[in-house]
Amino acid sequence: MKRSLHKPNKNVTVVIDVSFTEEIEIIKEYIINEQCPVIYSLNDDGIIRFEWYLNEADNTATLIERFENSDVWEELGNKVLGSPINIKFRELFKVESLTVLGDINDSFKEKLQAMSPRIKTYVGGIN
């Protein structure tokens, strides 16, 4: 893969830090056997990454999502918001922070305001 310097792309990365009070086995069951299979079944090539990382010692987790562009992320959001899988997510987890890396449109920013996102735009780097 060829690297480039300071060539922004349209990818959007979303980092969601959560906490939880349920037993760890319930959390793992949800992630492995419910949420991830639902997202995978959407068969959307625009979803580049959807990965969970757990810290069992302090009942926290991080979900990292990466999309080809803001439109792919918004479409996914529209598909899952209010769905049973999203409702269960909100029952199991408390969102501690939501960070969006990349450009998203103003209407989607408005939809996200309830979660107090930190939105950061690209400046430079190696990609």
Question: How much is the pLDDT for 91?
Answer: 97
Q: Name the residue among 68, 75, 80 with its Cα closest to residue 108.
A: 75
The number of residues in the chain equals: 127
Q: What is the pLDDT of residues 106-120, one digit of tens each?
A: 888 888 888 899 999
What's the domain range around 104? 12-120
- CATH number, residue 53: 3.30.70.100
Give domain status of residue 56, yes or no: yes
- The answer to whether the beta carbons of residues 122 and 100 sit under 8 Å apart is no
Token couple for 59: 């009942």
Question: How much is the pLDDT for 108?
Answer: 82
Give residue for tokens 């107090």: 116
Give domain status of residue 2, yes or no: no
What is the phi/psi pair of residue 122, to 5°? -65, 140
Q: How confident is the model at residue 77 (pLDDT cuts 50, 70, 90)?
A: confident
* Rounded mean pLDDT, 25-33: 98
Give domain status of residue 5, yes or no: no
pLDDT value at 1 more than 80: no
Number of structural domains the chain divides into: 1
Average model confidence (pLDDT) across the chain: 93
